[in-house]
Amino acid sequence: MPPPHSASIRLQQYLHTTRLLRSIHSALYYDQNTGMPAAGAPWRGEQLALLATQLHERQSCATYADLVEDAAAELAPHAPAAKQRNLQLLRLELQRQRSLDPQLVAALALAQARGNAIWQQARQANDFQAFAPALEELIRLRRAQASQWASAEPVARSPWELLAQPYEPDVSKARLQELFAPLKHEIPPLLERAAAVPAMATAATDLPEAVQDRLCGELLDSWGYDHRRCQRARSAHPFSCTVGPDDFRITTRVVNGQPFSAFLATAHEWGHSLYEQGLARSESQDFPWPLGEATSMGVHESQSLFWECRVARSQAFADQWYPRFSAGPGRDPWGDGHRFWRALNPMRPGLIRVEADELSYCLHIVLRFELELALVEQGMPVADLPHEWNQRMDALLGLQPTTVSEGCLQDIHWAEGLIGYFPSYALGHLISAQLTEAMAGAIGPIEPLIAAGETRTLQAWLQTHVWPLGRTVNGEELVEQVSGDTLGARPFLNHLNGKVEQLLNRT
Minimum Å gap between C-beta 227 and its own copies is 7
- Please select the residue that binds its own copies; options are 1, 39, 76, 174, rule is CB under 8 A: 39
Query: Cβ closer to its own copies: 78 or 227?
Result: 227
Q: CB–CB of 489/497 below 8 Å?
A: no
What are the residues facing 95 on neighbouring strands?
none
Q: Which of 38, 76, 155, 210 is in the footprint of its own copies by CB under 8 A?
A: 38
Other Cβ atoms closer than 10 A to 203: 10
DSSP 310: I
Our finding on whether 61 is near its own copies (CB under 8 A) is no
- Identified catalytic residue from 137, 168, 269, 437: 269
Helical H segments across 100-172, by residue range: 102-125, 128-150, 159-164
Other CB atoms closer than 10 Å to residue 199's CB: what's the count? Answer: 11
Burial (CB count <10 Å: 0-12, 13-18, 19+), residue 173: middle
Q: Residue 446 carries which side chain, given as an amino acid letter?
A: I
468: contact with its own copies by CB under 8 A:
no
Asked whether position 233 contacts its own copies by CB under 8 A, the answer is yes
Q: Minimum CB separation from its own copies for residue 456, in Å? A: 20
325 makes contact with its own copies (CB under 8 A): no
DSSP 8-class letter at 296: -
Only segment of 47-55, 78-86, 394-402, 416-424 that touches its own copies (CB under 8 A):
47-55
Q: Give the containing element (helix H, strand E) for 276.
A: helix 261-278
Question: Which CB sits closer to its own copies, 250 or 376?
Answer: 250
Active site residue 269: yes
Radius of gyration of the chain (CA): 23
For the CB of residue 50, give the shortest distance to its own copies in the complex, in Å: 5
Stretch that binds its own copies, among 28-36, 152-160, 179-187, 422-430 (CB under 8 A): 28-36
Is position 98 an interface residue for its own copies (rule: CB under 8 A)?
no
Closest separation in Å from C-beta 245 to its own copies: 6
CA 98/CA 114 separation, integer angstroms: 25
Is the separation of the CB atoms in 279 and 293 below 8 Å? Answer: yes
* Binder among 10, 21, 61, 95 for its own copies (CB under 8 A): 21
From 3, 156, 227, 329, residue interacting with its own copies (rule: CB under 8 A): 227
CA pair distance 233, 273, nearest whole angstrom: 14
Interface residues with its own copies (CB under 8 A) are 17, 20-21, 23-24, 27-28, 30-31, 34-40, 42-44, 46-47, 50-51, 226-231, 233, 243-249
What residues are annotated to the active site?
269
